[in-house]
A = this chain, B = another copy of it.
């Protein structure tokens, strides 16, 4: 394993220290591994907290700031944070109007956030939860853990953050978050496995001409293995899967998201293909992002997220945001 780290056990703590040094406008709580808006809690504003395992940077700590999150909890690499930390984040975010938890749908994240929400409730903080489960590679069923939360998390955080900034109630902020999630689908393909600092070697071996199709963002293998194909075919696979699970036309927010080890030039090639294919299916790319936003350490791979957006969602997407990872309009 070759990484710019000091010690596999301390990666998250030290990355947070680096984030704190780079962003004096944010507050880092090293004990609870939190990233907090410098001016939190904002009086009267619905607070927004997200978090999860680390290794997905800039998600979530990179999305803390005006217009998006009030606080983010960084668990160990690929390990959801603990209730105490989530509770601390919730307290830090609460400006008296309650706090929204944006939770990616993984058993660990769900359980720890649930416990934290209970503890926060005991303290008199109103908490609502939006569960993000956009990854259409996984079949949805009440008998299983359900779909994973991946790229749509960014859109949920952005849109909910914008509505909260306008002074909306906890209930309304939660509702728009759920709407965005419901209208979003994602699908990812990996060319290499991720190497966690703790394991020290790639999570799986992948021959030099194969890819994992339908992967998540935790370095796990995908739904199936296939021969590597041209960018056009990869894009077609992604677009098909998403529009099958989440049909729709008209305006969309489209994210072509690198998994950490894939350079921008390839993501743009992929975006070109995606844009052509979506056009053929009467989906209009109203807004887009191309880059490494919701990652899986050093995994080479890419994910497509499509969110069928209405005017309100687009308006909130366009609203000013000022965070390390996303910034516009301010």
Contacts and interface: CB of A to CB of B under 8 A. Distances in A.
A113 interface: no
B57 A272 contact: no
A271 interface: yes
A271 B191 contact: no
A265 B230 contact: no
Interface in A269-305: 269-273, 275-276, 285, 288, 290, 292, 295, 297-298, 300, 302
Nearest to A208: B2
A55 interface: yes
Given A22-B271, A272-B14, A300 B302 contact: no
A interface, how many residues as a size bin? 35 or more
B275 A4 contact: no
Nearest to A254: B22
A328 to B, nearest CB: 6
Contacts of A18: 267-273, 275, 290
Chain A interface helix/strand/loop/mixed: mixed
Contact of A264 (B17, B57, B288): B57
Contacts of A295: 263-264
Contacts of A275: 18, 21-22
Interface string A294-330: 0101101010000000000000000000101001111
A22 B297 contact: no
A194 to B, nearest CB: 9
Contacts of A324: 290
A54 B264 CA distance: 11
CB-based closest 10 A-B pairs: A18-B272, A18-B268, A21-B275, A57-B264, A18-B271, A15-B268, A4-B266, A2-B191, A260-B263, A17-B272
